[in-house]
Chains A and B, each alone.
Chain A
Amino acid sequence: MTNILNIRSITKFYGKIRALHEVSFDVPPGSVYGVLGPNGSGKTTLLGIVMDVLQSSGGEYAWFGQPPSSRHRRQIGTLLETPNFYHYLSGERNLKIAAAIKGHGEEDIPRVLETVKLTGRRHSKFSTYSLGMKQRLAIASCLLGNPSVLVFDEPTNGLDPVGIAETRQLILDLSREGKTILLASHLLDEVEKVCSHVAILQKGQLLMAGHVNEVLTNEDYVELGARDMQKLAALLSGYPGVRQVKPYEQSLQVYFEQNNADLDGINQYCFENGVVLNHLQLRKRSLESKFMELTNT
């Protein structure tokens, strides 16, 4: 099946500063693809390039397997960086302009306004909206025409906790409808909760990209505790397949070469070597810890 988006060796310079360096990955249809990275890592720059508001210094990209064009952008709902609307116009009039540019009629406007709970303020000028309302109007604009592909750059910016939860739910609902979503965020739990795929950027370089399960492969670890932690650490260093043993608070975290942690075997090994465990647990590594390791933060 044709990928929704193919990104090949995209590079971007701002003067002498290299914002992106040969970034390549593919967004498969139906995926929720998280683009993750700290502030200044190049997430928005990358999305700006694929939406044609920034010029790349090198590389290429394709939408729906074809060279990019304005026709493709009309099929994509995009919220990039900040909500951009005419301040002197009402929310509804702004959506009419967006709908007209996308080549849709105005019949979808009541639905999208209701989805983001702005029906009651549809006649108010955009300049009177709160930050959260502006963000919700931008999401409403993305939903116009029920596009099959959505691009969200920090979609929960400015939203209150309820708004954040609702937006996450909306993204999950859209994903269940089979839509492809490209989501840039520096909020790790946000990406972890909704994304099927992830690309991690740091200082413009792609550190890792793929399915969440692939990115986090071999990243299970075992957390152990005993009365004599030093003896336990020394003992575990000699256990077959152990890659790394590192202390964490009152316990030890043990990483294995092949993700083949056998809790029964470890327990037996420790007991037979004179160490009685008081804590033994298999843990899945969070995206956050993976991200921290990759970005050395």
Chain B
Amino acid sequence: MRTTLQIEWMKVRNYRTFWILLAITIVSIPGFNYMFYDIFDNKFPKMRGKSIFGSPFAFPDVWQTVSWNAGGVLFLIPAILIITLTTNEFTYRTHRQNVIDGWSRGQFVGVKMLEILLLSIFTTLIVGLTALAFGRLGNKVPADVSIWQGSHFVAAYFVQMLAYSLIAFMMAMFIRRAGLAMGVFFVYLIIENIVVAVCRNRYHAVWVDYLPEEVTDLLIPQPYAKAIITQQGASRWESHVPVYLAVAAAYLLIFCIVSSRRFLKSDL
């Protein structure tokens, strides 16, 4: 596996688009969070020197805040990167050549999944470091709070990132064209959001919680304004986290199996 990963590295290390998208990912996670930090720190009224929305960028809430911000929109950039790297193989027909030259089909699809895993770990590290930086540099750590309290939200971000990435990968494996795969990926996300909003708000449907995108989103609840918005259903959420995690894990497995079978069984 190490050799296949080295070969994968040979493919991307001189690919400019890879570095541009990676740089955007690295910059956008702290940048996007700083934008919110600036708004909450400076733009909202304060009572007794504290923001009426609480301190979302102070320990322990900073982990949840940064993870939620990073997962909300910024997953799109790594997803675009995954779709680009995967569909490139189909565009240049190098997926065929890799197999002709001596990779098994399983090796090809396996190293792509490993690439997704590493990218998810990398962005999770960025999220973790960003949370630490905001928590450390921007705020004093309360004496009774461990800085690691709430850091499990970073792990939740990892699961969320992995799920979005594998959906993007699956789209790329089936559609094989970059533009179309990205389009279908975005349309799918929008449709799922609309279905969730309509069914939950109008019909109080619970099943929408278990849709692929939503179930990982629910692992990180909205972090803002905890001080003034009653966290309705907080205890219900806590009790449901194991279920969300189990369903998310099942989805991850399904995405992997479906994508692999597509490559293992079809004509290349």
Binding site for B on A (CB under 8 A): 48, 51-55, 69-71, 73-74, 78, 80, 82, 84-89, 93, 96-98, 100-103, 141
Q: Which of A86, A98, A103 has the most chain B CB atoms inside 10 A of its CB?
A: A86
| Known contacts A53-B267, A86-B92; A100/B10 CB under 8 A | yes
Question: Are A70 and B267 closer than 8 Å at their CB atoms?
Answer: no
B191, CB-defined interface residue at 8 Å? no
**Chain B nearest CB: distance from A15 CB in Å?**
12
Q: Would you list which residues of chain B between 131 and 166 have a CB under 8 Å from chain A?
A: none
Question: Are B16 and A88 closer than 8 Å at their CB atoms?
Answer: yes
User: In the assembled complex, which residues on chain A have CB atoms less than 8 Å from the CB atom of B101?
Assistant: 73-74, 78, 98, 101-102, 141
Point out the residue from A54, A82, A86, A141 that lies within 8 Å of B268, measured CB to CB. Answer: A54
| Known contacts A51-B100, A53-B268; A88/B14 CB under 8 A | yes
| Known contacts A85-B97, A98-B97; A55/B102 CB under 8 A | no
User: In the assembled complex, which residues on chain B have CB atoms less than 8 Å from the CB atom of A74?
Assistant: 101-102
Question: Are B100 and A53 closer than 8 Å at their CB atoms?
Answer: yes
**CB-nearest residue of chain A to B98:** A101
Task: Give 28 pairs: A residue, B residue, CB < 8 Å, sorted on A.
Answer: A51-B99, A52-B99, A52-B105, A53-B100, A54-B267, A54-B268, A70-B99, A70-B103, A73-B99, A73-B101, A74-B102, A84-B92, A84-B94, A85-B92, A85-B94, A88-B15, A88-B16, A89-B11, A89-B14, A93-B14, A96-B10, A97-B10, A98-B97, A98-B101, A100-B6, A101-B7, A101-B98, A101-B102
**CB-nearest residue of chain A to B267:** A54
| Known contacts A78-B100, A100-B3; A55/B265 CB under 8 A | yes
Question: Are A97 and B11 closer than 8 Å at their CB atoms?
Answer: yes
Q: How far is the CA of A86 from the CA of B7 in the complex (A)?
A: 13
Number of A-B contacts (CB under 8 A): 75
Question: Are B92 and A73 closer than 8 Å at their CB atoms?
Answer: no
Q: How far is the CA of A39 from the CA of B267 in the complex (A)?
A: 20
**Chain A nearest CB: distance from B102 CB in Å?**
3
Q: Scoring B residues 91 to 111 as 1 if CB is less than 8 Å from chain A, else 0, what string do you get?
A: 011101111111111010000
User: In the assembled complex, which residues on chain A have CB atoms less than 8 Å from the CB atom of B11?
Assistant: 86, 89, 97
- Give the 6 A-B residue pairs with the shortest CB-CB distance, closest first: A74-B102, A84-B97, A70-B104, A84-B93, A101-B101, A53-B268
User: In the assembled complex, which residues on chain B have CB atoms less than 8 Å from the CB atom of A98?
Assistant: 97, 101
Q: Would you list which residues of chain B between 104 and 125 have a CB under 8 Å from chain A?
A: 104-105, 107
**CB-nearest residue of chain A to B102:** A74
Binding site for A on B (CB under 8 A): 3, 6-7, 10-11, 14-16, 88, 92-94, 96-105, 107, 265-268
User: In the assembled complex, which residues on chain B have CB atoms less than 8 Å from the CB atom of A97?
Assistant: 7, 10-11
Question: Are B94 and A70 closer than 8 Å at their CB atoms?
Answer: no
User: In the assembled complex, which residues on chain B have CB atoms less than 8 Å from the CB atom of A101?
Assistant: 7, 98, 101-103
User: In the assembled complex, which residues on chain A have CB atoms less than 8 Å from the CB atom of B104?
Assistant: 69-70
**Chain A nearest CB: distance from B22 CB in Å?**
15
**Chain A nearest CB: distance from B108 CB in Å?**
10
Q: How far is the CA of A53 from the CA of B264 in the complex (A)?
A: 10
Point out the residue from A55, A84, A87, A89 that lies within 8 Å of B96, measured CB to CB. Answer: A84
User: In the assembled complex, which residues on chain A have CB atoms less than 8 Å from the CB atom of B99?
Assistant: 51-53, 70, 73
Q: How far is the CA of A20 from the CA of B88 in the complex (A)?
A: 30
**Chain B nearest CB: distance from A163 CB in Å?**
21
User: In the assembled complex, which residues on chain A have CB atoms less than 8 Å from the CB atom of B96?
Assistant: 53, 80, 84
Q: Which of A82, A84, A101 has the most chain B CB atoms inside 10 A of its CB?
A: A101
Q: How far is the CA of A52 from the CA of B101 in the complex (A)?
A: 11
User: In the assembled complex, which residues on chain A have CB atoms less than 8 Å from the CB atom of B100?
Assistant: 51-53, 73, 78, 80
Q: Which of B7, B92, B97, B268 has the most chain A CB atoms inside 10 A of its CB?
A: B97
